[in-house]
Amino acid sequence: MKKTVFLGALTVAGLAAGASAAATLDDVKARGKLNCGVTTGLVGFAAPDANGNWEGFDVAVCRAVAAAVLGDANAVEFVPTTGKTRFTALASGEVDMLARNTTWTLSRDADLKFTFVGVNYYDGQGFMVHKDMGVSSAKELDGATVCIQTGTTTELNLADFFRANNISYEPVPIETNAEGQQQYLAGACDTYTTDASGLAATRATFEDPSAHVVLPEIISKEPLGPLVRHGDNEWGDIVRWTLNALISAEELGITSANIGELSAAAGDNPEINRILGTEGNLGEMLGLDAEWAKRAIMAGGNYGEVFAKNIGEDTPIALARGLNAQWQDGGLIYSPPFR
């Protein structure tokens, strides 16, 4: 008898655990907060400002999702993760999504069991060196000491690059960007390698950015994007289409300035109407209300506005749109249609 009760309790517990793993949306709503995994601090992408508020390009994605789901762009609990801890944090359910300049690869998709919902920044791995070293190409780095964030794709690209060019190097593994910065500035490593955007962001925080150069070689493709766990496709859809809403908004000219006017009543562009919920029931299909995308866009503006505000050419980081321009402008940023 006792054993039956025991096993019965176990079954209930097991079912409860299974059910809670499936519906991330309900969990987030019940909690009233979105747990979003970000970096431990990379200016422009995700870093706390002077008042302790997180801001940046990746943070904007978290805020947009929180706005779409919970109606409040500030209802986000930011969980700083290192290159090493990020996947365990996501797989264990400690965070609901990861927006942490993470490269989309096959093995992370199929083997680590994560779903990348899209790409919010097309990047590539570069090298930064002190200008007075007189190095003009990454191929001249034979024998150099290289600071490298451990647990990243850049670690593997680095090994491949040096092997392919038949030159040697000495890796200095580091945990966080701040640690890499310290070692690089003290000259404990000759070069610091990570995604080119990360290098630009790091260099912008230096006392004298002009004393450092990013070498021209980009040795890998690093499509960075937000990701969620396998197994909850509804939640994956919400994050995917929130990102797409920001991208489409830029394409269609919806900005934080004119969104109030455009969403007041249905206009003559049916796709704008569908995104903003004045026509059709796209929000309902996602399990949200009609104004989800409107709130997401209002959280920080459309993709272009987010880019310009955090990492664009007018910021200290000064990244050009390049590959990250809209497809009509010759870039790769492209959203499937809202239909």
Partner 1 sequence: MTTTTDPHQGQFRLSMLLYDSRYRSMTIQIIALIGFLLLLGWIFSNTAQNLTDLGKEPSFRFMGEPAGYDINQRLLEYSNQDTHLRAALIGLLNTLLVAALGCITATVLGVIIGVLRLSPNWIISRLSAVYVEMFRNVPVLLWIVFIMAILIETLPSPSAFRKGEASLSLWDSVAVTNRGIYIPEPLFTNTLGNLHLFGNSSLRFDVSLDLIAILAVFIGGLLTSGLIKRRADHTQEATGTRPTTWYWRLGVVVIPTSIVLVLLGLHWGYPELKGFNFKGGTHLRNSLIALWLALSVYTAAFIAEIVRAGILAISKGQSEAAGALGLRSNRTMSLVILPQALRVIIPPLISNYLNLTKNSSLAIAVGYMDITGTLGGITMNQTGRELETVLLLMLVYLAISLTISSVMNWYNESVKLKER
> By the criterion CB under 8 A, which residues form the site for partner 1?
6, 10, 14, 17-18, 83-84, 87-88, 91, 107-108, 111-113, 130, 133, 141-145, 150-151, 155-156, 158-160, 163, 169-175, 182-183, 186-190, 230-231
Give burial (CB, 10 Å; 0-12/13-18/19+) of 235: buried
β-strand partners of 149: 174
Q: Which of residues 142 and 329 has its CB atom nearest to partner 1 in the complex?
A: 142
Residue type, 327: W
Q: Of the two residues 60 and 128, which places its CB atom closer to partner 1 in the complex?
A: 128
Please, what is the minimum distance in Å from the beta carbon of residue 212 to partner 1?
A: 14
Quick count: other Cβ atoms within 10 Å of Cβ 280? Answer: 17
Shortest spacing between CB 61 and partner 1, in angstroms: 23
Tell me the closest approach of the beta carbon of residue 237 to partner 1, in angstroms: 20
Q: Which of 61, 38, 74, 75 is nearest to 118 (CA)?
A: 61
Q: Based on CB atoms, which residue is closest to partner 1, 35 or 102?
A: 102
Residue whose CB is less far from partner 1, 145 or 255: 145
Shortest CB 33 distance to partner 1, Å? 24
State the minimum distance, in angstroms, from the CB of residue 152 to partner 1.
8
Nearer to partner 1, 22 or 252 (CB): 22
Q: Whose Cβ is closer to partner 1: residue 227's or residue 306's?
A: 227
Q: Which two tokens stand for residue 155?
A: 């670690």
Task: Report the residue number, 49 or 160, with the smaller CB distance to partner 1.
Answer: 160
Shortest Å distance, C-beta 231 to partner 1: 7
Min dist. Cβ of residue 183 to partner 1 (A): 6
Q: Which is nearer to partner 1, 17 or 257 (CB)?
A: 17
Least Cβ distance, residue 168 to partner 1 (angstroms) = 9
Distance separating alpha carbons of residues 241 and 246, to the nearest angstrom: 9
Q: State the minimum distance, in angstroms, from the CB of residue 196 to partner 1.
A: 21
CB nearer partner 1, residue 167 or residue 218? 167
